[in-house]
Structure 1
Amino acid sequence: MTNDQHTPLLELEDLHIAFESSTGTVEAVRGANLKIYPGQSVAIVGESGSGKSTTAMSIIGLLPGTGKVTKGSIKFNGTDITALNDKQMQEYRGSMIGLVPQDPMSNLNPVWKIGTQIKEALRANNVVSASEMDQRVTELLEEAGLPDAQRRAKQYPHEFSGGMRQRALIGMGLAARPKLLIADEPTSALDVTVQKRILDHLGTLTQELGTAVLFITHDLGLAAERAEHLVVMHRGRIVESGPSLEILRDPQHPYTQRLVDAAPSLASSRIQSAKAQGRAADGLLVAEHDITTDDVIRVENLTKVFDVRGAKGAKKELRAVDDVTFGLREGTTLAIVGESGSGKSTVANMVLKLLEPTSGRVLYKGKDITTLNDKETFDMRRKLQVVFQNPYGSLDPMFSIYRCIEEPLLVHKVGNRKQREARVAELLDMVAMPRSAMRRYPNELSGGQRQRIAVARALALEPEVVVLDEAVSALDVLVQHQILQLLTELQDELKLSYLFITHDLAVVRQTADEVVVMEKGRLVERGTTDELFTNAQQEYTRDLINSVPGLGLL
């Protein structure tokens, strides 16, 4: 069927999708209407559970579990595809509608070479003859921006970085030259600089091929920067849709207004313009602390060398951290930023005494922690606590929430049973969780609620320093915003010092007093947050800042 620019390529009409569960029917999408024209880029934005991924998966006929379209239609090129059986749907999947899934780790087969997996995609869609297969694989990997494509095709997924895996998936998604590409949170697991390169590349590629793109994301800054048209979903309904910049600059629905307020990249943008005009940014967590206080943590000439196996098993050294010196002042937030592999988490682990430095030292209130004996280390642990990145992996699933928070109190023999109960209740209040949560288990909580429990547990022993290792990167923007606000309030109330490890400069702009930038193990730049954002000295730092999606949009 022919398709001109004025006929929708995809049209959803009054789409309802429901799942059957043990407790009855759950409506995931309620009455969604959406049109995508040939070559157009559209983004569906919303938090987890808003129905955005369910909508996308219904278009490609891959609804998980008991998911079913219960009402309405999905028309592709004028044909209603909701009633097609699986065999008929395969005609569309890949060849007409491509998909770049969210998690590159779980969407590539670990035991197949990358080239083999792309061949599979080509074979499934009868794209090229068997004799041209290898040539086409190389072309697709080159197109996806992977250098040395011929050699790369012979490697396995574990030999690729996250960004390279995502490029391979883009290659697969576009292998059959589909008319529509669905990109489901295509870069949520990647560093900002890698994310920017991949999205730039995807943009150029889809424009050249005339492919329409449907982005699924919870990052409003990213959506507005990458798509012409925005669709905002909340609890299964589309609450607002229109041209991206119009929605950003003048959101109509209260939910969209909350999303715009919470998006870290847009908040950074507002801080930037407010600073430029010399006024306070309204409602933002701009940390303004007195920077003349003493260092509570001081890191001097810190170096960490790992022995690794090089090619052919030869012994090699990896300098993960190379001669790093900085100080965290009492009551302030210091952010350590850099891409994956820059050494920032290794520094955090040495500060927490989970790794021994190869050389150099870590001072806590003037005392070298590497020289502490077991008892002194145990006592120091009370004062230095940590909140990790993954709210799913850092709480014991067998422990009730009460036991999760009580555990540090038990380990350090704090109080009797009654006092511990009172302390747990007080900590739940502190992180704005209901006391009834005590009896629940981690699997009954959302990611944001789990992260609140992790914060409560970190504060149980009244620490002075909290290390936040990518503590909000796994969360939706609205939840991220709430946790950041919570951390800011707790810092003021309890006079806490934060060491914030992150690759997200938008978050740094909102929360940190001072910033240390790391690249390949070395400290390449440091300064107050304002200095860094207005006048970064290093090109690497400027790249990190310029890669924040949506920074220049407001």
Structure 2
Amino acid sequence: MQELLRIDHLTAGYGANAVIEDISISLHAGEVLGIVGESGSGKSTLLKAIAQIRGLSTEIHTGTVSFETKNLAVLSEGERRRLRGEEIAMVFQYAGASLNPTRRIGTQLAETMRAHTDLSREEIDARAAEVFGGMGFADAHRILSAYPFELSGGMAQRAAIALAVILRPQLLLADEPTSALDATIQLQVLDELRALKERTGTAILLITHNIGVVRHIADRVAVMCKGKIVEQGSVDEVLGNPQHPYTQELLAAVPKMSATHTDCDRMEHMHVTQDFSAITKEKKISDDEDTLLRFDNVSMHFDDAAGRVQAIDGISFSLGRRELLGIVGESGSGKSTVAKLLTGLHTATGGSILLNGRDITHTSGKERRALYTRMQMVFQDAPGSFNPRRSIGAMIGETICRLCTPDARTTAQRVGELLTEVGLPSSYANRYPHEMSGGECQRAAIARAMAVHPEILVCDEATSALDVSVQAKIIALLLHLQREHGMSLLFISHDLPLVSSIADRVLIMQNGRIVEQGETNRVLREPGEDYTRNLLQAAL
């Protein structure tokens, strides 16, 4: 089998600081190598050293990175540009990093095809329909006509993957390519990537925190810890019989599907240790007088280039005080739209949203700002939710000042207390988002949301971009804060095993509708809908 990529004793980093040390791996045509490890272990730095993209590449201190025997570090920028796209493609963790927000998806696709091929417009359209269809898009024409911001996070990520593989590259560098995807679409995309490598011999270097993804598609796996590979071998060898203690810890942190959990053993399912190991949850009450939030036959549509799209279609549900409600569904099912309707980022076109019995559906201005002291949101892309030009402390302080109006000294003290509460040193107030890992950024985002003591915390895929060990710590933190502050949590996720471990009740959404809802134990143990059963079967 032809060797495509060889990395020999690579040490690289940013400036004089080495982030990865003495890395040696190889990758052959048609092979998938999975790389797993905690946030900050050097996984993405390794991909940047291989890709050598201007502005993103790392500085190679020692060692070599060779593609088809060519040393990538000594190639000219023109030679690298020719390789990228035609022979080497990359999928970034966040679609926003690779998609131009001012241009339609179809325009970006046409630019890529024209730059690297002589295909006619008809041939480009035919290949686009084939690739986008393989990524789970039943309406490829609408997606190609859309701007990136008109797509959900999962849909944008699938579009980015389609653009990366449409030229059938020899090597695909994939940095968490399925972290934003629900279980059924994730399986479809993985199967499409597997078909691509079998059909064209494409090799895939896959960075992921999802051990199930590695089991499903990878041939070999390498485990990284603190910039070094501590264990590598076949998937069966490494994941079936891990030898290194760090690998054993990673596997122990993977959430297990639980359809029969009790309130007191949720944390056991998360394998949480350290400060949060003793957390338990109180039994919830479901009486009407204990209902904090209610969606009553809420609908929302929007118009795009392809016509009217019904994002939410007559949904009704409630959220109790101190309750953790999970919302699960495919990408584009309307999960994030629910969060945006609640927080005023979208406006319902029908129905009512009631908070403590008061209609907040069309609030705006001062009335809407007052509501933000009662509800806050933690976004999927934590680094992207912060202003990169301002320090973490300044942005948390801004939230406090806008909604609570304390003096400067009180604000600085409160920022330090919030950072400490989420497990970060108070000195992190002086750091900028790019100076923190993904898990640290997510903790800071939670601290910002907690600044105003909200009654409802909305988590929109708040852990999907995190590796399993960091995810466990963030979940433990959220449950701890819920217990201490008496909050209600609206937890939106495509990770069904995770939701099964922590949620009191769960809503299953499909095509803008709620197809099933109820106590988590009942819904997952005795699903009444085929769609729910399909989600359970697809959970990796």
| Band of TM-score, shorter chain | 0.7 to 0.9
Contact between 2:32 and 2:217, CA under 8 Å: does it hold in 1? yes
Alignment of 1:148-547 (within 5 A): 158=147, 161-162=155-156, 165-166=159-160, 168-174=162-168, 178=170, 180-262=171-253, 266-269=254-257, 271=258, 281=269, 283=271, 289-294=282-287, 295-306=290-301, 308=303, 317-353=308-344, 355-370=346-361, 380-396=371-387, 400-413=391-404, 420-547=411-538
Equivalent position SS for 1:146: helix
Equivalent position SS for 1:144: helix
The alpha carbon displacement at 1:28 in A equals: 3.3
What is residue 115 of structure 2 aligned with on the other side?
A: 120
1:116-160, Cα deviation, whole Å (9 max, x unpaired):
5224323xxxxxxx5x655754564455353899x9699567388
Contact between 2:3 and 2:68, CA under 8 Å: does it hold in 1? yes
What is residue 91 of structure 2 aligned with on the other side?
A: 101
Counterpart-to-counterpart distance in 2, 1:374 and 1:57: 44
Q: Comparing 435-444 with 239-248, which one deviates more in the overlay?
A: 435-444
What is residue 6 of structure 2 aligned with on the other side?
A: 11
The alpha carbon displacement at 1:430 in A equals: 1.5
Residues 154, 80 of structure 1: alpha-carbon distance in 2 compared, 3 angstrom cutoff: same
Equivalent position SS for 2:316: strand
Counterpart-to-counterpart distance in 1, 2:509 and 2:209: 27
Counterpart-to-counterpart distance in 2, 1:456 and 1:167: 33
1:379-398, Cα deviation, whole Å (9 max, x unpaired):
65433333233323434556
Counterpart-to-counterpart distance in 2, 1:206 and 1:468: 36
- Matching residue's letter, 2:336: S
The alpha carbon displacement at 1:486 in A equals: 0.4
- Matching residue's letter, 1:303: V
The alpha carbon displacement at 1:34 in A equals: 1.4
- Matching residue's letter, 2:89: L
Counterpart-to-counterpart distance in 2, 1:10 and 1:27: 22
The alpha carbon displacement at 1:370 in A equals: 5.0
1:91-137, Cα deviation, whole Å (9 max, x unpaired):
86666x43242255554674745245224323xxxxxxx5x655754
* 1:144 aligned onto 2:131: yes
TM-score (norm 2): 0.80
Q: Comparing 419-428 with 336-345, which one deviates more in the overlay?
A: 419-428
Counterpart-to-counterpart distance in 2, 1:418 and 1:107: 41
Counterpart-to-counterpart distance in 2, 1:374 and 1:139: 48
Residues 410, 38 of structure 1: alpha-carbon distance in 2 compared, 3 angstrom cutoff: closer
The alpha carbon displacement at 1:502 in A equals: 2.7
Contact between 1:192 and 1:544, CA under 8 Å: does it hold in 2? yes
The alpha carbon displacement at 1:60 in A equals: 5.4
- Matching residue's letter, 1:101: V
Equivalent position SS for 2:385: coil
Contact between 1:173 and 1:181, CA under 8 Å: does it hold in 2? no
Residues 34, 362 of structure 1: alpha-carbon distance in 2 compared, 3 angstrom cutoff: same
Q: Comparing 513-522 with 41-50, which one deviates more in the overlay?
A: 41-50
The alpha carbon displacement at 1:73 in A equals: 3.7
Contact between 1:192 and 1:504, CA under 8 Å: does it hold in 2? yes
The alpha carbon displacement at 1:282 in A equals: 7.1
Counterpart-to-counterpart distance in 1, 2:402 and 2:462: 24
- Matching residue's letter, 2:330: E
Rg: which structure is higher? 1
- Number of equivalent positions: 518
RMSD: 4.0
Residues 393, 140 of structure 1: alpha-carbon distance in 2 compared, 3 angstrom cutoff: closer
Contact between 2:297 and 2:314, CA under 8 Å: does it hold in 1? yes
The alpha carbon displacement at 1:347 in A equals: 2.5
Residues 501, 168 of structure 1: alpha-carbon distance in 2 compared, 3 angstrom cutoff: closer
The alpha carbon displacement at 1:481 in A equals: 2.6
5+ long unaligned stretches in structure 1: 123-129
Residues 137, 358 of structure 1: alpha-carbon distance in 2 compared, 3 angstrom cutoff: closer
The alpha carbon displacement at 1:343 in A equals: 2.6
Equivalent position SS for 2:46: helix
Taking only the aligned residue pairs, the percentage that are identical comes to 34
The alpha carbon displacement at 1:317 in A equals: 5.0
The alpha carbon displacement at 1:473 in A equals: 3.1
Counterpart-to-counterpart distance in 2, 1:239 and 1:317: 52
Counterpart-to-counterpart distance in 1, 2:437 and 2:386: 12
Q: Comparing 499-508 with 222-231, which one deviates more in the overlay?
A: 499-508
Equivalent position SS for 2:133: coil
Equivalent position SS for 1:187: coil
Contact between 1:306 and 1:318, CA under 8 Å: does it hold in 2? yes
- Matching residue's letter, 2:159: R
Contact between 1:287 and 1:512, CA under 8 Å: does it hold in 2? no
Contact between 2:168 and 2:200, CA under 8 Å: does it hold in 1? no
The alpha carbon displacement at 1:358 in A equals: 3.5
Contact between 1:145 and 1:167, CA under 8 Å: does it hold in 2? no
1:463-482, Cα deviation, whole Å (9 max, x unpaired):
32222233233444443332
Counterpart-to-counterpart distance in 1, 2:295 and 2:503: 21
Contact between 1:301 and 1:359, CA under 8 Å: does it hold in 2? no
Contact between 2:507 and 2:518, CA under 8 Å: does it hold in 1? yes
Equivalent position SS for 2:9: strand
- Matching residue's letter, 1:246: E
- Matching residue's letter, 2:499: V
- Matching residue's letter, 2:527: A
The alpha carbon displacement at 1:490 in A equals: 1.3
The alpha carbon displacement at 1:237 in A equals: 1.4
Counterpart-to-counterpart distance in 2, 1:349 and 1:460: 20
